[in-house]
Structure 1
Amino acid sequence: MSTRTSPGPHIEVRGLHRSYGSGADAFEAVRGVDLVVEPGTVVALLGTNGAGKTSALEVVEGLAPPSSGEVRVLGLDPVADRAEVRRRTGVLLQTSGFPADLTVAETLRMWAATMTAPRPVADALADLDLAGRADVRVRALSGGELRRLDLACTLLGEPEVVLLDEPTTGLDPESRRRVWELVAGLRDRGCSVLLTTHHLEEAEELADRVAIMHAGRIVREGTPAELGADRPATIRFEGAAAGLPDLAGLPAVARVGTDHGTTTLESRDLQATLTALLTAAADRDVRLPGLEARSASLESVFLAIASGEEPAAAPTPEPARPTGGAAR
């Protein structure tokens, strides 16, 4: 892929509101969102169903105007300057609408015909592991293959900005890993990527920064490590703690609970707690079936917000803007 330089943030969202309907029947889906995506970075937008992430993404894509606030993509208005913005962006929607009677290769050639300087179709097929399916009609593709065709079309124009709405939905683990490699490659070439996903592992693997939406607002933002820094680690094992000392008295234990036959310890220092637990079990010849120890994760942060356990925190200050070019 070629590379060009585009100064400043690739995506800037300031005070974005988006409402549906009017008057007493109006529903505000996005309620004052601020978000910046720099060149050469991947930002994951997370949220429970109905949090407003797709509504916000559609405004960035230029599919709808904001009710209020400002959105800039490559310094341009994605609605007023749609022709220029669309030429330089790649958009992957949750669903596609390809003609069922075309083959995979014909679909890509049709898509390429709408672009100024597309990549070779053969390269796009190879990148998404579709070369062996080039002559297969779209109607005969599996869900995962159709999703890969979606992504091949998204990247065909060598975009500077890539917007991915649930990019790995329906993919098997091998195909999902391949998509992750492609997204990492886009970042390395200076592209900016804004994606929504329900796979928290995906966000932890790919994202430089994560923004979590809840009830129309971004309530937490930062790197995956920053978001998990104030959450406890967890230790789980099957069964009760029979034969062990009081687990609440082990070093750094914040909470002990038992649910459906599984004992869970929350720890402020995973190594200290786990060492003490294993020592106590060995001294008393107690087995800990299904023992599992996990550092604080993005999942724990997300679930705490979704359940209302953790209140919205103040937004993390924006990082210093990196330098670098953008692909296309």
Structure 2
Amino acid sequence: MDPVAGLLDPRARGAFILRSLLSGPWSIRIEDEAPLTLVAVVRGTAYVDVGTATTEIMPGDVAVVRGPRPYTVAGSAGTAPQVAIGPDQVCRPIAGVVGARPMGPLGLRSWGNDPDGATMLLTGTYHSPAEISRSLLAALPDLLVLRPGEWDSWLIDHLIHEVDRDASGQDVVLDRLLDLVLITAVRTWLARPDAHPPRWYTAQDDPIVGAALTCIHARPGQAWTVASLAAQARCSRAALARRFTELVGVPPMTYLTEWRLSCAADMLTRSDATLEAIARDVGYASPFALSAAFKRVRGVSPRTLRSGAASRAGRL
């Protein structure tokens, strides 16, 4: 598996896509526990506060918010939230807030407090971690904002156009458009000079470490050792171990274990392959060996991870 392709392989499944029409003052607390959400401003302005960062977004901007922690979207900085959006997109008013205009449905895939509101947002939410690779979720910052001129914002215009339609297969069209917006956003972010992608991503350019990473990523099921990886990289074991740890941040065998378990986690939540087949594909001799490694590193069993993903999908 190409890890960069894994980063750029979202698979929305009935994603929550909504147009919000709002007049101020307004502020919304998002507590839906979703792994990833995109918020685009069509008109007006908004402030996104994820706790660790607050950013103003304007027309043409897209904010990528990594969950599952709560965040706030408001018309002006410091406005107290008036409603909270919980799991399954259930909206509830926040007690103690006075003078707020009621929010509710305003037509097909539209919601807010004023059908003629000065602010229009377009929100696309991935419900489940199964729709997003763990490599991507681990790589992204809490809040990523792209401005007009640095990315292909015409995709948002296309998405807005499709949100208004109710044709056959429309949910699939919206899912794929949302995926394209996210793929374009991530590619743009990775190309930024100020981006902080995962260390393995930049280490791929190193001739020694890059060769070892290519082997691990392409064939996680092979019985790799430091010696065999060093042979592929045409260097000594000591040189590989030292340079790999320096550039990636962990020793080669630790990274191999992490990569195998990441691959297994994606297979558990995105396929119906048996645990035995998954164990074999990622380099474990038996399902028991995979389960033991999973519990030791991830703190849960593979079956628990899979059943949790299935439970979340069943609620959608």
TM-score for the superposition, normalised by structure 1? 0.28
Over alpha carbons, which structure has the higher Rg? Answer: 1
Specify which structure has the higher proportion of helix: 2
What is the TM-score when the length of structure 2 is the normalising length? 0.29
More strand by share: 1
